[in-house]
Structure 1
Amino acid sequence: MRLPGATAAGLLLTAAAPLTTGAVLEQEAAAARCAAFASATFGEQVRLTATRHVPAAASRQGPNAAAVTLPSHCLVSGVIGEREGAGGKKYGIGFELALPDRWSGRFLLQGGGGLNGSVRPPTGPVAAGDRPALARGFAVVSHDSGHTGAVFDDSFLVDQRAALDFAEASVRTVTLLAKEMTRAYFDAPIARSYMTGCSTGGREGMLAAQRYPELFDGIIVGAPAMRTGNSNLAIEYASVQFNQAAPRDAEGLPLVERIFSPADRKTLLGGMLEQCDALDGLADGMIANVAGCRFEPRRLQCTAGKAENCLSPAQVGALERAFAGPKDSAGYPLYAPVPYDTGIVETEGPIPGYLPTGRPGVFGPASRALEIDLDSRANALRNTAWQRLTDTNYWTNLNTFLGRGGKILFFHGVSDPWFSAFDTWDYWQRAAETNGAAWDNASRFYMNPGMPHCSGGNAHDQFDLLTPLVDWVEKAEAPGPPVSRRASDPQDQRPLCAYPSYPHYIGGKRTEATSFECRRSVQ
């Protein structure tokens, strides 16, 4: 469609130069154009609730990120498919679309998190380093996936349409509408389309490549929540294993807070570093050679009675079973192993490490269960329709997406306590087997040592995958190792190597990326 009063002279980007920044509009003209957009219509199912011009301003894109200046843009808010659903609750897909005054011709869908339920500011921060997509001139849209509520509020599942929108449909619905709106606003075609997301947003990115292969040219998938039934089962299984190593109260129940003392955690961290730290050529408190690490908890076991500098046989056994992951009675793995990494011993932060503390954390409220029936739980998972809808672990045939020239980059923090980085790597390998050389020419996987879920930790957790993704899609330039930085010290840098390669220290200043080279781990 064409906006009321829109003319070719008012375009921010001409079709003749789709990948270059258009002429700068004066603020008054940009604001007027944004105001005019409020009267645009996009069918009976779409209602625009607010349209305002936002001046350029500094913004912080996350707790670990530096402030960045976001450009002036038109911010459009709206809802798709408003209705009264189950229980008389109001439903509809809420969205916000940011349309920069200086448009690059690119479009980006921003993935969600948790169970969604809110519309996050549409800036495109995931894996974009210190320049979110909006700051690069992308048109960016975000959405709530069809319901409102707290990040882990699942009450919307009683409504069929809301459940379907969360599971898959909202990705396509929002993308198609936002693309139509972007084309209408600029009165020009979209040159390239992208998507980025972590956690639920990572699952949504996988879903897009698998089920809607024509939507995007490039996708970044971070720590995907791709089969939460299985990952939750693995966490419950691990909880039971750890509880079996706990001292007991007068009723014989485990004292969860006493499973691993501060001294035990220090012993475990020291043991991991002793066995695996220097495998990357530098003993620096990080395990960069993830594929080469073969940590053996049994080497920390006390030879006599329990002491502060060693682990009990019960603790060692619990670690070995929990980190190996659950298997059914036939020996079939129900989830991937969990990596041994430095972040597993953490007790603080928004998401504590993998070891239980007795407080709510990755294991939820402290459980004192001592048994789990894996066969019955696995059977229940196989027969749950919700799992079939939301899982993105199984579909690996991506020949339509790849055939269109699509590119997809994966990243995962090795210390992620919710979703195992090895599970995502397993998917990547199976996709490689299915798609052959086309996969090698379209995808990379990056492990980030020390990083928990999506960001943070003792890690170089600030990195830009969006630039190499765009260059791969638009210039056919395969990505080299991006530089990753510490949020606390941006001058401390490492190359982010495509797994199973890792950054090996070759000499020089330890905080400079050029002091490392990517080497393939010897398996």
Structure 2
Amino acid sequence: MKRHRHLLVGATMALFACVAITSPAMATACTNLRSLQLQHTVINSADDNTTGTFVPPGSSPITGLPAFCRVTATLVPSSDSSIRIEVWLPESTWNGRFLGTGGGGFQGVITYNELAIGIQAGFAATNSDLGTGSSGCNPLFCGSAGNMGNPLAIQFGDPASPSTGLFGHPERIKDFGYRAIHLMTVRGKEIANAFYGQRPQRAYFAGCSTGGQNALMEAQRFPNDYDGILAGAPAFNRTHLHMAGLYGWQNAHASPGRFIQAGQMTLINQAVLKQCVGQDGGAKTDQFLTDPRDCRFDPKVLLCKGGSVPPACLTSDQVTTMQRYYGGTIDPVNGQIINPGSQRGNETDDILALGLAFQERLPEPAFDGLFYWVFGPSFGYPASATNFANFDFHHDIAKVDDQLAAVLNATSTDLGEFRGHGGKLLMYHGWADPLIPSQSSINYFLALVGNEGPGFPQGFQPVGFFDHGNGNPALRRTQSYTRLFMVPGMYHCAGGPGPNTFDALTPLVKWVEAGVAPDTILATKFVADTPPAVQMTRPLCVFPKVAKYNGNGDTNNAANFSCVTDENDFNQKPAPKYGP
């Protein structure tokens, strides 16, 4: 859901385009693309950029670019569609491969840094605004009651006036859900073919958050689009994920005393680490948890006593807020889990992580735009029957799911056709993700494993499910085409106290083209998250293995850790009708 990048985790995105520099007097293979005729497509521009630089307005220049052809186009699969795409084509450094890329949240913009990283690696790269830009959407807001003068909402792009996002535009909802990325892929390949005179030899997709949802949707609905798919922190269970955002906002605003004050998320995180760090295979010196499912921290231990007062401790109301934060989104009538809760160890006061510290300070939840698409403008007014402050987590779920789930939720676990043509899916998720619960990706992976094992219901993890000897046959079959890597200490797609920068695309390419499945991926934590000074390295292990400290040597050196099979940890999952 977030607008952060992902080919190399940790890169900073630029979000807006500038006009590429070209010589209008001389036709080139690039400028000839202006007359290219494609179905339901308008080529808006095709220009050579040989400057080595792309300068997004209001942002720092993207430098170190090869000469490339920049193509902008608008796709109109329906009379109400307006899907912007860009295709960047390296002019002399093409590696013969095609790369589709994703964005974050409601998108509405082109994610330019994804395109830049793609062509720097030799790919013909493409990206889309998902068709939501025509409705004035941006990554965080696609329907709202306006920023209400809230400085944080203004800072993060909430429009001043109320908006309804995609309400009344069912075709644009389809574009956002699945059609934009598929058509971006089809047209992008056609444009590449026209430019190079040959089709790409292999096609890959890489995205995190909404880009991760795009990734899984491609594998499920359009299994022949890509040979290899990289899905980071996927927002695949979208309707229920957005309900979790509403739930968290209501939780913190239930009464004035329930609000978590500035600095208290850091206080809680320090208490979590004090109790749980190192017990999950990691080192005692870590500032993050290797597998937070091993942590049984109860925020009651921070309850104010004697003369202590917040923010140095928690009131009983604040303890309730945090218990529900960890407990998940719950139907208050039948107790069913709608969406998993937040993992211990993801507590942060960094508003850029888009967690509770960010959400509770907004006048309404950042990602509640989804519900404007169903309920219309009344969702922004507290006097209305259904709004962001009183959404009923028993009665209102069905209406949202009836209208949106089939279009937006990438929850199918039938990847047979994708696997059948040799497709490979590599997933990753930060264990300290404050926005999308990290166990959601585990739930999806376990559902795939459940499909491979006779008698195992989807997502079920019986004793011995992960055999410590020769391995589970269903797990092995699943890992022949899908592998999951959990990232200790990483926030949503980027950042966090753990090793949060790694190249997951290169191992995917090697898996697809050489048949070498990745068992580990080397991750790096840079000092202040800024290269080149390295703070630490750590191996990311193929799930269900975890990185365990060998007991000797520098704990900041990946060489002193080994990937070992983890014990069977409890993984909170939604009720079957809300899952996997």
Q: Same fold (TM over 0.5)?
A: yes
Q: Find the counterpart in structure 1 of residue 426 from structure 2.
A: 409
Q: Find the counterpart in structure 2 of residue 134 from structure 1.
A: 119
Q: Give per-residue Cα distances to partners, 1:346-370, cap 9 Å, x unaligned.
A: 1x34344325785229944999999
Structure 1 Cα separation of the partners of residues 287 and 443 of structure 2: 27
Q: 1:275 and 2:290 equivalent?
A: no
Structure 1 Cα separation of the partners of residues 230 and 73 of structure 2: 26
Return the match for 1:488 from 530, 545, 557.
530
The alignment partner of 1:495 has SS state of strand
Structure 2 Cα separation of the partners of residues 31 and 296 of structure 1: 67
Structure 1 Cα separation of the partners of residues 216 and 438 of structure 2: 15
Q: 1:381 and 2:396 equivalent?
A: no
Contact 1:99 1:182 in 2 (8 A): yes
Structure 1 Cα separation of the partners of residues 431 and 118 of structure 2: 25
Contact 1:238 1:323 in 2 (8 A): no
Question: Which one-letter code corresponds to 1:140 in the other structure?
Answer: A
Structure 2 Cα separation of the partners of residues 442 and 495 of structure 1: 21
Return the match for 1:35 from 31, 47, 67.
31
Contact 2:355 2:435 in 1 (8 A): no
The 1:123/1:311 distance shift into structure 2, 3 A limit, reads closer
Q: 1:288 and 2:271 equivalent?
A: no
Return the match for 1:231 from 228, 231, 241.
241
The alignment partner of 1:272 has SS state of helix
Structure 2 Cα separation of the partners of residues 39 and 222 of structure 1: 36
The 1:399/1:459 distance shift into structure 2, 3 A limit, reads same
Q: Find the counterpart in structure 2 of residue 498 from structure 1.
A: 542
The 1:48/1:407 distance shift into structure 2, 3 A limit, reads same
The alignment partner of 1:485 has SS state of strand
Q: 1:396 and 2:413 equivalent?
A: yes
Q: Give per-residue Cα distances to partners, 1:483-502, cap 9 Å, x unaligned.
A: 22233354232222223433
Structure 2 Cα separation of the partners of residues 37 and 353 of structure 1: 44
Contact 1:75 1:98 in 2 (8 A): yes
Map 1:60-75 → 2, pairs under 5 A: 69-75=64-70
Greater mean alpha carbon deviation, residues 309-318 or residues 224-233: 309-318
Structure 1 Cα separation of the partners of residues 339 and 114 of structure 2: 34
The alignment partner of 1:417 has SS state of coil
Question: Which one-letter code corresponds to 1:111 in the other structure?
Answer: G
Q: CA deviation at 1:282?
A: 3.0
Map 1:241-260 → 2, pairs under 5 A: 241-244=251-254, 253-255=255-257, 257=259, 259-260=260-261
The alignment partner of 1:133 has SS state of helix
Structure 1 Cα separation of the partners of residues 107 and 220 of structure 2: 21
Structure 1 Cα separation of the partners of residues 308 and 277 of structure 2: 26
**Which structure 2 residue ranges, 5 or more long, are not aligned?**
1-22, 144-164, 369-379, 383-387, 453-473, 570-580
Greater C-alpha Rg: 1
The alignment partner of 2:511 has SS state of helix
Contact 2:258 2:318 in 1 (8 A): no
The alignment partner of 1:278 has SS state of coil
Q: CA deviation at 1:270?
A: 2.2
Structure 2 Cα separation of the partners of residues 474 and 421 of structure 1: 29
Map 1:43-442 → 2, pairs under 5 A: 43=39, 45-55=40-50, 57=52, 69-81=64-76, 85=80, 91-101=81-91, 102-121=93-112, 123-124=114-115, 132-148=117-133, 149-151=136-138, 152-154=141-143, 155-244=165-254, 253-255=255-257, 257=259, 259-260=260-261, 262=263, 264-279=264-279, 280-302=282-304, 307=309, 310-328=313-331, 329-341=333-345, 343-346=346-349, 348-355=350-357, 359-360=361-362, 363-364=365-366, 373-383=392-402, 385-393=403-411, 395-435=412-452, 436=474, 437-442=476-481
Q: Give per-residue Cα distances to partners, 1:357-416, cap 9 Å, x unaligned.
A: 852299449999997642113333343x122210112x1011110111111111222332
Task: State the identity as a percent.
Answer: 26
Contact 2:236 2:410 in 1 (8 A): yes
Structure 2 Cα separation of the partners of residues 422 and 134 of structure 1: 33
Greater mean alpha carbon deviation, residues 463-472 or residues 294-303: 294-303
The alignment partner of 1:33 has SS state of coil
Structure 2 Cα separation of the partners of residues 136 and 475 of structure 1: 18
Structure 2 Cα separation of the partners of residues 358 and 174 of structure 1: 36
Contact 1:291 1:500 in 2 (8 A): no
Question: Which one-letter code corresponds to 2:49 in the other structure?
Answer: V
Q: Give per-residue Cα distances to partners, 1:267-290, cap 9 Å, x unaligned.
A: 412220112212213322221233
Structure 2 Cα separation of the partners of residues 96 and 260 of structure 1: 42
The 1:50/1:377 distance shift into structure 2, 3 A limit, reads same
The 1:67/1:450 distance shift into structure 2, 3 A limit, reads farther
The alignment partner of 2:499 has SS state of coil
Greater mean alpha carbon deviation, residues 178-187 or residues 282-291: 282-291
Contact 1:97 1:122 in 2 (8 A): no
Contact 2:34 2:46 in 1 (8 A): yes
Q: Find the counterpart in structure 2 of residue 17 from structure 1.
A: none
Contact 1:96 1:122 in 2 (8 A): no
Contact 1:31 1:74 in 2 (8 A): no
Q: CA deviation at 1:138?
A: 0.9
Structure 2 Cα separation of the partners of residues 193 and 265 of structure 1: 42
The alignment partner of 1:204 has SS state of helix
Q: 1:519 and 2:564 equivalent?
A: yes
Structure 1 Cα separation of the partners of residues 298 and 262 of structure 2: 19
Task: Count the aligned residue pairs.
Answer: 468
Q: 1:460 and 2:470 equivalent?
A: no
Greater mean alpha carbon deviation, residues 33-42 or residues 408-417: 33-42
Q: Give per-residue Cα distances to partners, 1:192-214, cap 9 Å, x unaligned.
A: 11111111111111100011111
Question: Which one-letter code corresponds to 1:270 in the other structure?
Answer: Q
The 1:220/1:361 distance shift into structure 2, 3 A limit, reads farther
Q: Give per-residue Cα distances to partners, 1:469-488, cap 9 Å, x unaligned.
A: 00000000011321222333
TM (normalized to structure 1)? 0.80
Task: Please report the RMSD computed on the Cα atoms of aligned residues, expressed in angstroms.
Answer: 3.3
Q: CA deviation at 1:107?
A: 0.6
Question: Which one-letter code corresponds to 2:285 in the other structure?
Answer: A
Contact 1:256 1:358 in 2 (8 A): no
Structure 1 Cα separation of the partners of residues 62 and 557 of structure 2: 23
Q: CA deviation at 1:40?
A: 3.0
Question: Which one-letter code corresponds to 1:515 in the other structure?
Answer: N
Q: Find the counterpart in structure 2 of residue 249 from structure 1.
A: none
Greater mean alpha carbon deviation, residues 465-474 or residues 485-494: 485-494
Greater mean alpha carbon deviation, residues 331-340 or residues 364-373: 364-373
Q: Find the counterpart in structure 2 of residue 22 from structure 1.
A: none
The alignment partner of 1:38 has SS state of helix
Structure 1 Cα separation of the partners of residues 248 and 261 of structure 2: 14
TM (normalized to structure 2)? 0.73
Contact 2:249 2:360 in 1 (8 A): no
